[in-house]
A and B are shown apart, each in its own frame.
Chain A
């Protein structure tokens, strides 16, 4: 046994060791690169000041750099730390030092650990200044309610006037918790619209007009058509298990109240919305039937729920959220030549979409004003923002045309998450995206209709037990329904599912949701 292990392990170890040796030479090169990078950044920062007048903090009342004490701001966000993190931080500090006499310390924390780590830091009242927050990570509402974040209601308009003016008041209101603002919103796509993407090669081949596909039924007809025409070994990965059971809601103009793992939805456009059980609707039943048919026809793979690996390049289309530039992104991640999309229903603004990415100032921060000034800069100063998003020009990316960038191969700084840091519309555009992607996105945001519940956040503290029970029931059935795997038992199982939901406390949840929605509507009027 001992011998066997050594035998297997030895060549691998050898490889590992030789790359270690190699790295000794590599690290020298690194240092050089860093110093060069700094020099570059200085040059950039200098030229940047002149043309980004809007980014100037002189608008902030009575604050010139000379009056400000030097401070250091600690900024935590979920991301994989990059090898050249320090160089980028130094380059950012050159700009920050000059404009607001502050220095930033960046602490990217790997995604998996972010929530856990920040929770402990918040609970122990450790001092830090800025943190990424959202409904889906480091729960914004819960933490704001618990006093983890500093109240920015007055600070932000005063110390970050341009940032504050860049968004409509209704959007800021959407981020308010108990009437107070606790975080700055990163401007980006707010409107959410769902639809389908298609591998263009096949919509062309089968002469399908994808712009006419408006329902799941139409979409499944397309898949069936392809299934009939293509050889069997090409059609074993046609589409995902499909979160369409969730997405029919958006396509019908519904909106779930407090997350889709508990029942309860409303129609976004109703003035006095009634909360209903979205799983107990003819539409939902129809979708389940459709999934069953697709499973029988072999369109949905039998192992869709269990397959460990999924060859995306074999897919023909799926449910997706539609946005400018998303076609290119989808094509890239699926290694396809061209992907087209068509949205179903109308784009909507909901609370979760507006507050999807935000930066909060910690309640333990000693300098919340300066943190707000940093937020102003990162949201208005293009040079600073692009540094944090893409690194140093020439070292980590090259500029293509006026407003596009292309990563340098094996770049040592590419966090790939510009939406996390600030106003995305100030950022450079990836080279594969359309030139006017930000314009299109802005237009989409403008055209979106605000949900009647914009600004409402559901508090599930009254029904925690029932919510957990229902979530368990839904988890048990939903994916199997979506994959159509119950076959002939589908009807029976559907009845069973509904009665299980009832037993799990459905009525109490619906009543609680209705009460909170009514209270919110009453408060709005």
Chain B
């Protein structure tokens, strides 16, 4: 047995290293985003900026309507998507976790099947654009990801950890199935739901492929696409016109191109960082509450 003090020291040292490894890219990104672009060209990336400059942010927010629209759209997608997603996932997962539900094997099988086989891109696109006519709507981004098989199975396993004795006790006390679900099961699975909320919110927030396909109108772009668009524009300016023979309207040297990419990453990831710090308390709670009492 090692000495408790030495033990703590080693553990802390390892954790510090891990912590540093995971923090480093984030800090680096933020630092590069506030570095003067000229410095980036002449000295490369460095952790401490030689010349502090907010040019990249000034450039990005020069016409802030796009970014604000993007934030708004992404927020709608993420909030509505996550709430509905949690509700539906829980409603599906709960019966599947009950041993007295006779067809749970068949239903699970069906859901599992969609995890392995899916229709592919073209049928999905035809369904959403031609039959449902959801092109240029946020619905097209929210709905396809509402009930993900993986989330359902994850939640089913967590629901199964709740002893059946609890639901039986509730029934004896006169609780309806809905009452049991809302008053007993859901409150007991708060940590699980928080985890799921985080997975789902991250998924919705970072979703870039569906909007590329389904959203044509600029004002309905979620933040990821707005930023993608800005990078695209910056690259275009930086590379110069594809065709020779015309001088560009914008002087490429006036655009802080390198730091913009990083400023953008900061802008795109910030809300998720906040969400994570907020949900963290549920994770910690989840660890302590987990045990079965009585």
Does A113 sit within 8 A of B, measured CB to CB? yes
Kindly supply a per-residue 1/0 record for chain A positions 3-41, scoring 1 wherever the CB is within 8 Å of any chain B CB and 0 otherwise.
011101100110110011011001100100000000000
Shortest 4 CB-CB contacts between residues of A and residues of B: A80-B233, A23-B64, A110-B232, A323-B244
**A15 with B54: in contact, given A1-B23, A117-B213, A332-B251 (CB under 8 Å)?**
yes
- A80, A326, A418 — which one has the most chain B CB atoms within 10 A of its CB? A80
Q: Determine if B125 and A328 form an interchain contact, defined as CB atoms under 8 angstroms apart.
A: no
Q: Is the CB of A309 within 8 A of B41?
A: yes
Asked if A83 and B65 make an inter-chain contact with CB atoms under 8 angstroms apart, the answer reads yes
Bound form: Cα–Cα A369–B91 in Å:
53
With beta carbons under 8 angstroms apart, the residue of A9, A16, A83, A326 that contacts B273 is A9
14 further A-B pairs in the complex, CB-CB below 8 A; given A80-B230, A189-B245, A416-B249 = A15-B54, A23-B61, A30-B65, A107-B216, A120-B121, A123-B125, A188-B243, A325-B245, A329-B244, A329-B245, A332-B247, A335-B253, A356-B243, A417-B241
In the complex, whether B57 has a CB less than 8 A from a CB of chain A is yes
Measured CA separation A463–B41 after assembly (Å)? 42
Once A and B bind, how many residue pairs between them come within 8 Å at the CB atom? 173
**B contact face: mostly helix, strand, loop, or mixed:** helix
B286 at the interface (CB under 8 A from A): no
CB < 8 Å: which of B66, B243, B247, B270 contacts A419? B243
Q: Does A184 contact B (CB under 8 A)?
A: no
A340 → chain B closest CB, angstroms: 15
Report the interface size class on chain B.
35 or more
B contact residues around A83 at 8 Å (CB): 63, 65-66
Q: Which residues of chain B come closer than 8 Å to A80, judged between CB atoms? A: 229-230, 232-233, 236
B227 to chain A, nearest CB (A): 10
Contact call A441/B23, Cβ cutoff below 8 A: no
B270 touches A5 (CB 8 A): no
Inter-subunit contact B250/A8 (CB<8 Å): no
B186 within 8 A of A: no
Does chain A have a CB within 8 A of B288?
A: no
| B88 interface contact, C-beta 8 A | no
Beta-carbon contact of B129 and A124 below 8 Å: yes
A432 to B252, CA, bound (A): 14
Q: Establish whether residues B228 and A112, one from each chain, have CB atoms under 8 Å apart when the complex forms.
A: yes
A352 at the interface (CB under 8 A from B): no
Does A359 interact with chain B (Cβ within 8 Å)? no
Against B, the Cβ 8 Å flags (1 = close, 0 = not) of A304-332 are: 00001111000000001111111011001
Central interface residue in B23, B54, B122, B248, by most chain A CB within 10 Å: B248
Distance between B248 CB and nearest chain A CB, rounded to angstroms: 6
- The B231-259 residues at the A interface (CB cut-off 8 A) are 231-233, 235-237, 240-253, 258
A335 and B121 alpha carbons, distance in the complex (Å): 46
Cβ-based interface call for B167 (8 A): no
Q: Does A411 contact B (CB under 8 A)?
A: yes
| B residues less than 8 Å from A416 (CB atoms) | 236-237, 241, 248-250
CB closest residue in chain B, given A24: B68
Would you mind naming 8 contact pairs between A and B with Cβ atoms under 8 Å apart?
A6-B277, A16-B61, A83-B63, A110-B232, A111-B232, A112-B231, A124-B122, A411-B249
B244 touches A326 (CB 8 A): yes
B232 touches A13 (CB 8 A): no
A322 to B244, CA, bound (A): 8
Q: In the docked arrangement, what's the CA distance between A123 and B125, Å?
A: 10
Cβ–Cβ contact A309 & B40, under 8 A: yes
Whether A333 is near chain B, meaning CB under 8 Å from some CB there, is: yes
Residue interface mask A189-232, B partner, CB < 8 A = 1: 10000000000000000000000000000000000000000000
Digit string of A98-112 for contact with B (CB within 8 Å is 1, else 0)? 000000000111111
Considering the complex, give the chain B residue whose CB is closest to the CB of A334.
Answer: B253
Q: Specify which chain B residues have a CB less than 8 angstroms from the CB of A15 in the assembled complex.
A: 54, 57
A23 touches B65 (CB 8 A): yes
How many interface residues does A have (CB within 8 Å)? 74
Chain B residues near A108 (CB, 8 Å)? 218
Given contacts A15-B54, A124-B125, A189-B244, A5 and B64 within 8 Å (CB-CB): no
Query: Is B27 an interface residue, CB under 8 A from the partner?
Result: yes
CA distance A441 to B233 in the complex (A): 27
B23 touches A329 (CB 8 A): no
A333 touches B44 (CB 8 A): no
User: Does A461 make an interface contact (CB < 8 A)?
Assistant: no
Question: Chain A, 68-84, contact with B by CB distance < 8 Å: what is the 0/1 string?
Answer: 00000000000111010
Identify which of residues 124-159 in chain A touch chain B, using a CB-to-CB cut-off of 8 Å. Answer: 124, 126
The listed residue with most A CB atoms (<10 A of its CB), out of B65, B249, B250, B274, is B249
Residue B45 CB within 8 A of the other chain: yes
Do A20 and B44 have beta carbons less than 8 Å apart? no
Q: Is A178 an interface residue (CB 8 A)?
A: no
Q: Given the interface contacts A81-B218, A120-B121, A356-B243, does A311 sit within 8 Å of B41 by beta carbon?
A: yes
Which residues of chain A are within 8 angstroms of B225 by Cβ–Cβ distance?
A: 110
Verify A85–B218 contact, CB threshold 8 A: yes
Give B112-126 as 1s and 0s: 1 = Cβ < 8 Å from A's Cβ atoms. Answer: 000000000110011
Q: Which residues of B contact A419 (CB under 8 A)?
A: 241-243, 246
A326-353 interface bits toward B, Cβ cutoff 8 Å, 1 = contact, 0 = none: 1011001101000000000000000000
A448 within 8 A of B: no
**Is the beta-carbon distance between B270 and A414 smaller than 8 angstroms?**
no
Contacting residues, chain B, for A8 (C-beta < 8 A)? 26-27, 30
The yes or no answer to A116 lying at the interface (CB within 8 A) is yes
Q: Are A12 and B232 in contact (CB under 8 A)?
A: no
Encode B73-97 as 1/0 by CB contact (under 8 A) with A.
Answer: 0000000000000000000000000
Q: How far is the CA of A117 from the CA of B246 in the complex (A)?
A: 28
Within 8 A of A (CB), among B148-176: none
Nearest residue, chain A, Cβ from B121: A120
CB of B280 closer than 8 Å to a CB of A: yes
Nearest residue in B to A341 (C-beta to C-beta)?
A: B244
A19 CA to B57 CA, complexed, in Å: 10
Q: Kindly state whether residue B267 has any CB partner on chain A within 8 Å.
A: yes
Contact indicator A321/B244 (Cβ below 8 Å): yes
A180 sits at the interface (CB 8 A): no
CA distance A207 to B226 in the complex (A): 50
The residue of chain B having its C-beta at the shortest distance from the C-beta of A444 within the complex is: B245
- B248 partner, pick from A6, A13, A310, A430, beta carbons under 8 A: A430
The reply on B130 being an interface residue by CB < 8 A is yes
B47 at the interface (CB under 8 A from A): no
Does A386 count as interface, using CB distance less than 8 angstroms? no
Complex Cα distance, B225 from A19, in Å, reads 20
